[in-house]
Structure 1
Amino acid sequence: MNHTFTWHGHSNFMIESGDKTIVIDPFFEGNPSADTGYDSIKSADLVLVTHDHGDHVGQAVDICKATGATLVCLFDLVEGFIEQGLAQDKVIGMNIGGTVELEGIKIKMVQAMHSAANGAPAGFIITYEDGFCVYFAGDTGLFSSMELFGKFHDIDVAMLPMGGWFTMDSKEAAFACKMLGCKKVIPMHFGTFPILEQNTSKFSEYLEGFAPGTKMVEIEPGKSATIAR
Protein backbone atom coordinates (compact mmCIF):
# COMPACT_ATOMS: atom_id res chain seq x y z
CA MET A 1 0.00 0.00 0.00
CA ASN A 2 1.21 3.50 -0.79
CA HIS A 3 1.06 6.18 1.89
CA THR A 4 0.90 9.80 0.71
CA PHE A 5 2.04 12.56 3.07
CA THR A 6 0.89 16.12 2.39
CA TRP A 7 2.44 18.94 4.44
CA HIS A 8 0.55 22.18 5.04
CA GLY A 9 3.43 23.79 6.93
CA HIS A 10 4.42 23.72 10.60
CA SER A 11 3.23 20.32 11.98
CA ASN A 12 0.10 20.16 9.86
CA PHE A 13 -0.06 16.91 7.87
CA MET A 14 -2.52 14.75 5.99
CA ILE A 15 -1.69 11.08 5.41
CA GLU A 16 -3.69 9.21 2.76
CA SER A 17 -3.40 5.42 2.80
CA GLY A 18 -5.75 3.42 0.61
CA ASP A 19 -9.22 4.66 1.45
CA LYS A 20 -8.21 6.03 4.88
CA THR A 21 -7.16 9.60 5.61
CA ILE A 22 -5.55 10.87 8.81
CA VAL A 23 -5.10 14.57 9.54
CA ILE A 24 -2.63 15.60 12.26
CA ASP A 25 -2.34 18.95 14.09
CA PRO A 26 -4.34 20.87 11.45
CA PHE A 27 -3.10 24.43 12.02
CA PHE A 28 -4.38 26.43 9.05
CA GLU A 29 -5.71 29.79 10.26
CA GLY A 30 -2.79 31.95 11.39
CA ASN A 31 -0.24 29.59 9.84
CA PRO A 32 1.91 31.64 7.44
CA SER A 33 3.22 28.45 5.85
CA ALA A 34 -0.22 27.03 5.08
CA ASP A 35 -0.89 26.91 1.37
CA THR A 36 -4.65 26.60 1.73
CA GLY A 37 -7.52 26.77 4.21
CA TYR A 38 -8.90 23.99 6.39
CA ASP A 39 -11.87 23.67 4.05
CA SER A 40 -9.53 22.07 1.51
CA ILE A 41 -9.78 18.89 3.60
CA LYS A 42 -12.77 17.33 1.90
CA SER A 43 -12.47 13.86 3.42
CA ALA A 44 -10.95 12.56 6.65
CA ASP A 45 -11.44 9.54 8.86
CA LEU A 46 -9.31 10.54 11.85
CA VAL A 47 -7.96 13.82 13.17
CA LEU A 48 -5.11 13.50 15.69
CA VAL A 49 -4.17 16.32 18.05
CA THR A 50 -0.88 16.10 19.97
CA HIS A 51 -1.52 18.84 22.55
CA ASP A 52 -3.67 21.87 23.22
CA HIS A 53 -1.47 24.69 21.90
CA GLY A 54 -3.31 26.70 19.26
CA ASP A 55 -0.73 26.02 16.55
CA HIS A 56 -1.53 22.30 16.85
CA VAL A 57 -5.24 22.14 17.68
CA GLY A 58 -5.81 24.51 14.79
CA GLN A 59 -9.09 23.80 13.01
CA ALA A 60 -9.47 20.22 14.25
CA VAL A 61 -13.08 20.74 15.32
CA ASP A 62 -14.08 22.40 12.05
CA ILE A 63 -12.58 19.56 10.02
CA CYS A 64 -14.29 16.90 12.12
CA LYS A 65 -17.64 18.64 11.77
CA ALA A 66 -17.23 19.03 8.01
CA THR A 67 -16.01 15.50 7.27
CA GLY A 68 -17.46 13.38 10.08
CA ALA A 69 -13.95 12.40 11.19
CA THR A 70 -13.26 11.12 14.68
CA LEU A 71 -10.91 13.23 16.79
CA VAL A 72 -8.22 11.45 18.85
CA CYS A 73 -6.55 13.32 21.69
CA LEU A 74 -5.43 13.17 25.30
CA PHE A 75 -8.32 12.22 27.61
CA ASP A 76 -8.05 15.53 29.47
CA LEU A 77 -9.00 17.45 26.31
CA VAL A 78 -12.13 15.49 25.43
CA GLU A 79 -14.58 17.62 27.41
CA GLY A 80 -13.33 20.80 25.79
CA PHE A 81 -13.84 19.43 22.29
CA ILE A 82 -17.35 18.25 23.17
CA GLU A 83 -18.11 21.74 24.45
CA GLN A 84 -17.06 23.04 21.04
CA GLY A 85 -19.80 20.97 19.44
CA LEU A 86 -18.36 17.55 18.70
CA ALA A 87 -20.54 14.56 19.50
CA GLN A 88 -19.29 12.43 22.37
CA ASP A 89 -18.86 9.40 20.12
CA LYS A 90 -16.70 11.47 17.77
CA VAL A 91 -13.98 12.21 20.33
CA ILE A 92 -11.68 9.42 21.49
CA GLY A 93 -9.69 10.23 24.59
CA MET A 94 -6.61 8.21 25.47
CA ASN A 95 -3.41 8.58 27.44
CA ILE A 96 0.31 8.08 27.12
CA GLY A 97 1.27 4.44 26.70
CA GLY A 98 -2.18 3.42 25.49
CA THR A 99 -3.16 2.09 22.07
CA VAL A 100 -6.50 2.32 20.31
CA GLU A 101 -7.47 0.67 17.02
CA LEU A 102 -9.66 2.76 14.72
CA GLU A 103 -10.45 2.15 11.06
CA GLY A 104 -8.08 -0.83 11.22
CA ILE A 105 -5.20 1.46 12.23
CA LYS A 106 -3.38 1.12 15.56
CA ILE A 107 -2.65 4.44 17.23
CA LYS A 108 -0.32 4.47 20.21
CA MET A 109 0.08 7.65 22.25
CA VAL A 110 3.60 8.30 23.49
CA GLN A 111 5.21 11.01 25.55
CA ALA A 112 6.67 14.26 24.23
CA MET A 113 8.97 16.60 26.13
CA HIS A 114 7.12 19.89 25.85
CA SER A 115 4.43 21.88 27.67
CA ALA A 116 0.65 22.09 27.53
CA ALA A 117 -2.00 24.29 29.13
CA ASN A 118 -4.09 21.21 29.97
CA GLY A 119 -3.04 17.60 30.28
CA ALA A 120 0.28 16.67 28.71
CA PRO A 121 1.87 16.89 25.26
CA ALA A 122 2.12 13.68 23.28
CA GLY A 123 3.24 12.03 20.09
CA PHE A 124 1.71 9.15 18.14
CA ILE A 125 3.01 5.90 16.73
CA ILE A 126 0.67 4.87 13.92
CA THR A 127 0.73 1.33 12.55
CA TYR A 128 -1.30 0.49 9.46
CA GLU A 129 -2.78 -2.87 8.53
CA ASP A 130 0.12 -3.51 6.13
CA GLY A 131 2.61 -2.98 8.97
CA PHE A 132 3.69 0.47 7.79
CA CYS A 133 4.72 2.41 10.91
CA VAL A 134 4.81 6.20 11.35
CA TYR A 135 6.13 8.04 14.40
CA PHE A 136 4.73 11.56 14.69
CA ALA A 137 6.72 13.21 17.47
CA GLY A 138 4.61 16.32 17.99
CA ASP A 139 6.38 19.21 19.70
CA THR A 140 9.26 17.76 21.68
CA GLY A 141 12.80 18.05 22.83
CA LEU A 142 15.18 15.13 22.52
CA PHE A 143 14.68 12.38 25.11
CA SER A 144 16.31 9.00 25.57
CA SER A 145 13.10 6.94 25.43
CA MET A 146 13.04 7.50 21.68
CA GLU A 147 15.49 4.61 21.57
CA LEU A 148 12.82 2.39 23.13
CA PHE A 149 10.34 3.43 20.43
CA GLY A 150 12.80 2.09 17.88
CA LYS A 151 13.19 -1.17 19.78
CA PHE A 152 9.44 -1.79 20.09
CA HIS A 153 8.50 -0.56 16.61
CA ASP A 154 9.94 -0.94 13.12
CA ILE A 155 9.57 2.72 12.19
CA ASP A 156 9.29 3.38 8.46
CA VAL A 157 8.84 7.14 8.74
CA ALA A 158 9.58 9.51 11.62
CA MET A 159 8.05 12.98 11.47
CA LEU A 160 10.26 15.15 13.64
CA PRO A 161 10.34 18.83 14.63
CA MET A 162 13.73 20.44 14.00
CA GLY A 163 13.18 24.18 14.18
CA GLY A 164 14.63 24.80 17.63
CA TRP A 165 13.43 27.42 20.16
CA PHE A 166 10.22 25.53 21.06
CA THR A 167 11.40 22.03 20.11
CA MET A 168 14.63 20.17 19.43
CA ASP A 169 16.87 21.68 16.79
CA SER A 170 18.31 20.12 13.65
CA LYS A 171 21.26 18.49 15.43
CA GLU A 172 19.09 16.86 18.07
CA ALA A 173 16.49 15.79 15.53
CA ALA A 174 19.19 14.08 13.49
CA PHE A 175 20.42 12.25 16.59
CA ALA A 176 16.82 11.22 17.29
CA CYS A 177 16.88 9.38 13.95
CA LYS A 178 19.85 7.38 15.19
CA MET A 179 17.95 6.38 18.34
CA LEU A 180 14.75 5.61 16.48
CA GLY A 181 16.43 3.62 13.72
CA CYS A 182 13.84 5.02 11.31
CA LYS A 183 14.16 4.31 7.60
CA LYS A 184 13.00 7.77 6.55
CA VAL A 185 12.43 11.11 8.24
CA ILE A 186 10.15 13.99 7.33
CA PRO A 187 11.28 17.23 9.04
CA MET A 188 8.63 19.61 10.34
CA HIS A 189 8.06 22.58 12.67
CA PHE A 190 10.62 24.77 10.92
CA GLY A 191 10.40 27.86 8.74
CA THR A 192 6.96 28.88 10.00
CA PHE A 193 8.15 31.86 12.02
CA PRO A 194 11.44 33.85 11.91
CA ILE A 195 12.70 32.49 15.25
CA LEU A 196 12.71 28.92 13.93
CA GLU A 197 15.36 27.34 11.70
CA GLN A 198 14.38 28.28 8.17
CA ASN A 199 15.55 25.30 6.14
CA THR A 200 16.86 21.74 6.39
CA SER A 201 20.46 22.32 5.30
CA LYS A 202 21.97 21.80 8.78
CA PHE A 203 19.64 18.92 9.48
CA SER A 204 20.77 17.19 6.31
CA GLU A 205 24.42 17.52 7.35
CA TYR A 206 23.80 16.24 10.87
CA LEU A 207 21.70 13.37 9.54
CA GLU A 208 24.56 12.18 7.36
CA GLY A 209 26.80 12.16 10.43
CA PHE A 210 24.49 10.63 13.02
CA ALA A 211 22.14 8.42 10.99
CA PRO A 212 23.42 7.88 7.43
CA GLY A 213 20.99 4.99 7.00
CA THR A 214 18.01 7.32 7.40
CA LYS A 215 16.80 9.06 4.24
CA MET A 216 15.34 12.54 4.53
CA VAL A 217 12.07 13.11 2.69
CA GLU A 218 11.68 16.86 2.42
CA ILE A 219 8.23 18.16 1.50
CA GLU A 220 7.44 21.76 0.61
CA PRO A 221 4.24 23.26 2.02
CA GLY A 222 1.32 22.24 -0.13
CA LYS A 223 3.24 19.37 -1.69
CA SER A 224 3.07 15.61 -1.17
CA ALA A 225 5.39 12.63 -1.04
CA THR A 226 4.30 9.02 -1.51
CA ILE A 227 6.12 6.34 0.45
CA ALA A 228 5.65 2.58 0.19
CA ARG A 229 6.74 0.11 2.84
Structure 2
Amino acid sequence: MKVTFFSHSTCMLKVHEKYLLIDPFLSENPIFRNENVFKLFKKIDYILLTHAHYDHVCDVELLTRKYNNILVISNYEISNYFNKKGIKTCGINYGSFISFPFGKLKYIWAAHSSVFNDGTYGGNPGGFLLHTDEGNIYISGDTSVIYEMNLIPTFGKLKLSILPIGGKYTMDVEEAIIASDFLKSEKILGVHYDTFEDIRIDKEQAQKRFFKKGKELILLEKGKTICI
Protein backbone atom coordinates (compact mmCIF):
# COMPACT_ATOMS: atom_id res chain seq x y z
CA MET A 1 0.00 0.00 0.00
CA LYS A 2 1.23 3.47 -0.90
CA VAL A 3 0.25 6.73 0.82
CA THR A 4 0.93 10.05 -0.90
CA PHE A 5 0.56 13.31 1.03
CA PHE A 6 -0.36 16.44 -0.93
CA SER A 7 -1.13 19.07 1.72
CA HIS A 8 -3.41 19.77 4.64
CA SER A 9 -5.47 16.55 5.00
CA THR A 10 -5.37 15.55 1.33
CA CYS A 11 -3.79 12.15 0.78
CA MET A 12 -3.97 9.43 -1.85
CA LEU A 13 -3.99 5.74 -0.94
CA LYS A 14 -3.10 3.14 -3.55
CA VAL A 15 -4.50 -0.27 -2.62
CA HIS A 16 -4.70 -3.16 -5.11
CA GLU A 17 -4.36 -0.73 -8.03
CA LYS A 18 -7.30 1.29 -6.70
CA TYR A 19 -6.71 4.98 -5.96
CA LEU A 20 -8.50 6.49 -2.96
CA LEU A 21 -8.28 10.27 -2.56
CA ILE A 22 -8.99 11.64 0.91
CA ASP A 23 -10.48 15.11 1.55
CA PRO A 24 -9.41 16.96 -1.62
CA PHE A 25 -8.36 20.54 -0.86
CA LEU A 26 -6.19 21.76 -3.72
CA SER A 27 -7.61 24.48 -5.97
CA GLU A 28 -8.28 26.82 -3.03
CA ASN A 29 -5.28 25.68 -1.01
CA PRO A 30 -2.62 28.44 -0.70
CA ILE A 31 0.11 25.81 -0.97
CA PHE A 32 -1.10 24.92 -4.49
CA ARG A 33 -1.64 28.47 -5.70
CA ASN A 34 -1.41 28.74 -9.52
CA GLU A 35 -0.78 25.00 -9.94
CA ASN A 36 -2.75 22.74 -12.28
CA VAL A 37 -4.26 20.22 -9.85
CA PHE A 38 -5.07 17.78 -12.66
CA LYS A 39 -1.36 17.14 -13.14
CA LEU A 40 -1.28 15.57 -9.69
CA PHE A 41 -3.40 12.53 -10.54
CA LYS A 42 -3.33 9.95 -13.31
CA LYS A 43 -6.36 8.16 -11.88
CA ILE A 44 -8.89 8.50 -9.07
CA ASP A 45 -11.29 5.65 -8.30
CA TYR A 46 -12.75 6.82 -4.98
CA ILE A 47 -12.97 10.02 -2.96
CA LEU A 48 -13.34 9.65 0.82
CA LEU A 49 -14.75 12.65 2.69
CA THR A 50 -14.52 12.90 6.45
CA HIS A 51 -16.75 15.97 6.85
CA ALA A 52 -18.22 18.92 4.95
CA HIS A 53 -15.83 21.81 5.67
CA TYR A 54 -14.55 23.49 2.51
CA ASP A 55 -10.92 22.58 3.23
CA HIS A 56 -11.92 18.92 2.86
CA VAL A 57 -14.51 18.93 0.07
CA CYS A 58 -13.85 21.95 -2.16
CA ASP A 59 -12.54 19.97 -5.15
CA VAL A 60 -15.08 17.14 -5.27
CA GLU A 61 -17.09 18.60 -8.13
CA LEU A 62 -13.97 19.69 -10.04
CA LEU A 63 -12.40 16.23 -9.86
CA THR A 64 -15.54 14.21 -10.57
CA ARG A 65 -16.08 16.23 -13.75
CA LYS A 66 -12.52 15.48 -14.89
CA TYR A 67 -12.15 11.81 -13.94
CA ASN A 68 -14.78 9.27 -14.95
CA ASN A 69 -16.63 6.93 -12.59
CA ILE A 70 -15.33 8.25 -9.28
CA LEU A 71 -17.35 6.99 -6.33
CA VAL A 72 -17.59 9.45 -3.44
CA ILE A 73 -17.84 7.74 -0.04
CA SER A 74 -18.95 9.71 2.99
CA ASN A 75 -21.72 9.98 5.55
CA TYR A 76 -25.32 10.01 4.40
CA GLU A 77 -25.76 13.80 4.42
CA ILE A 78 -22.58 14.60 2.47
CA SER A 79 -23.26 11.79 0.01
CA ASN A 80 -26.80 12.99 -0.53
CA TYR A 81 -25.57 16.57 -1.06
CA PHE A 82 -23.24 15.53 -3.89
CA ASN A 83 -25.63 12.94 -5.31
CA LYS A 84 -28.13 15.75 -5.97
CA LYS A 85 -25.42 17.36 -8.11
CA GLY A 86 -25.23 14.24 -10.28
CA ILE A 87 -22.15 12.73 -8.59
CA LYS A 88 -22.03 9.00 -7.89
CA THR A 89 -21.94 8.48 -4.12
CA CYS A 90 -22.12 5.84 -1.40
CA GLY A 91 -23.62 7.07 1.85
CA ILE A 92 -22.59 5.37 5.10
CA ASN A 93 -22.64 6.21 8.79
CA TYR A 94 -21.28 4.97 12.10
CA GLY A 95 -21.82 1.22 11.93
CA SER A 96 -20.43 -1.94 10.41
CA PHE A 97 -17.59 -2.46 8.00
CA ILE A 98 -18.64 -2.22 4.34
CA SER A 99 -16.80 -4.16 1.63
CA PHE A 100 -15.31 -2.51 -1.44
CA PRO A 101 -12.89 -3.83 -4.11
CA PHE A 102 -9.96 -2.32 -2.19
CA GLY A 103 -10.92 -3.79 1.21
CA LYS A 104 -13.47 -3.00 3.88
CA LEU A 105 -14.26 0.42 5.29
CA LYS A 106 -15.83 1.59 8.53
CA TYR A 107 -16.97 5.15 9.30
CA ILE A 108 -15.51 6.15 12.68
CA TRP A 109 -16.45 8.73 15.32
CA ALA A 110 -14.90 12.21 15.38
CA ALA A 111 -15.34 15.20 17.70
CA HIS A 112 -15.66 18.15 15.34
CA SER A 113 -18.33 19.96 13.28
CA SER A 114 -19.53 19.57 9.70
CA VAL A 115 -21.21 22.16 7.47
CA PHE A 116 -20.87 23.16 3.82
CA ASN A 117 -19.94 26.71 2.86
CA ASP A 118 -23.51 27.34 1.74
CA GLY A 119 -24.78 26.49 5.23
CA THR A 120 -26.03 22.99 4.40
CA TYR A 121 -25.70 20.59 7.32
CA GLY A 122 -22.96 18.03 6.71
CA GLY A 123 -24.07 15.31 9.11
CA ASN A 124 -21.86 13.70 11.72
CA PRO A 125 -18.13 14.34 11.20
CA GLY A 126 -16.05 11.20 11.11
CA GLY A 127 -13.00 9.31 10.01
CA PHE A 128 -12.37 6.00 8.28
CA LEU A 129 -10.97 2.68 9.42
CA LEU A 130 -9.66 0.84 6.37
CA HIS A 131 -8.86 -2.88 6.57
CA THR A 132 -7.05 -4.51 3.65
CA ASP A 133 -4.83 -7.55 3.18
CA GLU A 134 -2.00 -5.03 2.74
CA GLY A 135 -2.56 -3.65 6.24
CA ASN A 136 -4.96 -1.50 8.24
CA ILE A 137 -5.08 2.30 8.29
CA TYR A 138 -7.02 4.70 10.50
CA ILE A 139 -7.85 8.09 8.99
CA SER A 140 -9.15 10.19 11.87
CA GLY A 141 -10.41 13.24 10.00
CA ASP A 142 -10.59 16.49 11.95
CA THR A 143 -11.06 15.60 15.59
CA SER A 144 -9.96 16.16 19.12
CA VAL A 145 -8.70 13.15 21.01
CA ILE A 146 -11.68 11.04 22.10
CA TYR A 147 -11.86 8.04 24.38
CA GLU A 148 -13.67 6.00 21.73
CA MET A 149 -10.33 5.69 19.93
CA ASN A 150 -9.58 2.90 22.40
CA LEU A 151 -12.07 0.72 20.51
CA ILE A 152 -10.34 1.02 17.14
CA PRO A 153 -7.44 -1.44 17.74
CA THR A 154 -9.93 -4.06 18.92
CA PHE A 155 -10.94 -4.43 15.26
CA GLY A 156 -7.34 -5.16 14.20
CA LYS A 157 -3.77 -3.89 14.53
CA LEU A 158 -2.97 -0.67 12.69
CA LYS A 159 0.00 -0.24 10.37
CA LEU A 160 -0.54 3.53 10.17
CA SER A 161 -2.70 6.23 11.74
CA ILE A 162 -3.31 9.51 9.92
CA LEU A 163 -3.89 12.16 12.58
CA PRO A 164 -4.21 15.97 12.59
CA ILE A 165 -1.55 17.73 14.65
CA GLY A 166 -2.00 21.46 13.96
CA GLY A 167 -4.12 22.32 16.99
CA LYS A 168 -6.80 25.04 17.34
CA TYR A 169 -9.40 23.23 15.20
CA THR A 170 -8.18 19.68 15.85
CA MET A 171 -5.77 17.77 18.04
CA ASP A 172 -2.37 19.27 18.63
CA VAL A 173 0.83 17.25 18.94
CA GLU A 174 0.34 16.31 22.60
CA GLU A 175 -3.24 15.17 22.04
CA ALA A 176 -2.18 13.20 18.97
CA ILE A 177 0.37 11.37 21.11
CA ILE A 178 -2.42 10.45 23.56
CA ALA A 179 -4.56 9.36 20.60
CA SER A 180 -1.75 7.15 19.32
CA ASP A 181 -1.60 5.49 22.75
CA PHE A 182 -5.34 4.80 22.60
CA LEU A 183 -4.91 3.43 19.07
CA LYS A 184 -1.86 1.30 19.98
CA SER A 185 -0.32 2.89 16.90
CA GLU A 186 3.44 3.33 16.60
CA LYS A 187 3.56 4.95 13.16
CA ILE A 188 1.65 8.21 12.61
CA LEU A 189 1.33 10.36 9.51
CA GLY A 190 0.75 13.94 10.63
CA VAL A 191 -1.73 16.09 8.67
CA HIS A 192 -3.72 19.33 9.03
CA TYR A 193 -0.77 21.56 9.93
CA ASP A 194 1.17 24.48 8.37
CA THR A 195 -1.47 25.18 5.69
CA PHE A 196 -2.50 28.38 7.47
CA GLU A 197 -0.71 30.59 9.97
CA ASP A 198 -2.86 29.54 12.93
CA ILE A 199 -2.01 25.84 12.56
CA ARG A 200 1.74 26.18 12.09
CA ILE A 201 3.89 23.84 14.18
CA ASP A 202 7.56 23.26 14.98
CA LYS A 203 8.01 20.08 12.95
CA GLU A 204 11.35 19.10 14.45
CA GLN A 205 10.02 19.44 18.00
CA ALA A 206 6.86 17.52 17.10
CA GLN A 207 8.85 14.57 15.80
CA LYS A 208 11.10 14.62 18.88
CA ARG A 209 8.06 14.51 21.18
CA PHE A 210 6.69 11.47 19.38
CA PHE A 211 10.11 9.82 19.39
CA LYS A 212 10.40 10.22 23.16
CA LYS A 213 7.18 8.18 23.43
CA GLY A 214 8.60 5.42 21.24
CA LYS A 215 6.62 6.44 18.18
CA GLU A 216 7.41 7.68 14.68
CA LEU A 217 5.76 10.87 13.44
CA ILE A 218 6.01 11.00 9.65
CA LEU A 219 5.83 14.49 8.13
CA LEU A 220 5.92 14.33 4.35
CA GLU A 221 6.72 17.08 1.90
CA LYS A 222 4.10 17.95 -0.72
CA GLY A 223 3.65 15.09 -3.17
CA LYS A 224 5.89 12.61 -1.34
CA THR A 225 4.93 8.95 -0.89
CA ILE A 226 5.53 6.25 1.71
CA CYS A 227 4.96 2.50 1.38
CA ILE A 228 3.54 0.60 4.34
Quote the residue 2:118 is aligned against: none
The aligned counterpart of 1:178 is 181
Counterpart among 156, 159, 164 of residue 159 in structure 2: 156
Q: Give the paired residue count.
A: 219
Residue 29 of structure 2 is aligned to residue 31 of structure 1: yes
The answer for the alignment partner of 2:46 in structure 1 is 46
TM-superposed CA distance for 1:176, in Å, is: 1.1
* Paired position in structure 1 for 2:99: 101
- Relative distance call for 1:222 and 1:199 in structure 2 (3 A) is farther
Q: 2:129 aligns with which of 125, 129, 133?
A: 125
Indicate which of 148, 161, 168 corresponds to 1:165: 168
Q: Deviations over 1:194-226 (max 9, x none)?
A: 00133422322321333x0x3222211121122
Q: Which digits, 9 at most, give the CA deviation of each residue in 1:134-172, with x for residues without a partner?
A: 100000001111111122221110000000010010111
Residue type of the alignment partner of 2:127: G
In structure 1, give the amino acid aligned to 2:149.
Answer: M
Show the counterpart of 1:200.
203
Q: Is 1:142 paired with 2:142?
A: no
Equivalent residues of 2:152, 2:183 under 8 A apart: yes
**What SS does the aligned partner of 2:219 have?**
coil
Aligned to 2:225: 224
Question: Is the 2:207–2:216 contact (alpha carbons within 8 Å) kept by the matching residues of 1?
Answer: no
**Which residues of 2 match residues 59-74 of structure 1 at below 5 A?**
59-67=59-67, 68-74=69-75
Moved over 6 A (4+): none
Looking at structure 1, the residues matched to 203 and 93 of structure 2 have their Cα atoms a distance apart, in angstroms, of: 32
How far apart are the structure 2 equivalents of 1:192 and 1:141?
18
Q: Paired residue for 1:209? A: 212
Q: Distance in 2 between matches of 1:78 and 1:179?
A: 30
Contact map agreement 1:125 1:134 (CA 8 A) in 2: yes
- Give the % identical residues: 28
What amino acid does structure 1 have at the position aligned with 2:186?
Answer: K
Deviation at 1:131, TM superposition (A): 4.7
Q: Is the CA contact (8 Å cut-off) linking 2:15 and 2:102 kept in structure 1?
A: no
Deviation by residue 1:85-125 (Cα, 9 ceiling, x = unmatched): 21xxx200000123221114111000111011221110000
Deviation at residue 133 of structure 1 after TM alignment: 0.4
Residues 171 and 202 in structure 1, CA contact (< 8 A), matched pair in contact too? no
Residue pair 2:4, 2:11 contacting (<8 A) in 1 also: yes
- Please report the TM-score for the alignment, with normalisation by the length of structure 2: 0.90
After TM superposition, the score normalised by the length of structure 1 is: 0.89
Q: What is the distance in 2 between the residues matched to 1:192 and 1:198?
A: 10
Task: Please state how far the C-alpha of 1:38 moved relative to its aligned partner.
Answer: 3.4
When residues 23 and 148 of structure 1 are mapped into structure 2, their CA distance, relative to the original with a 3 A threshold, is: same
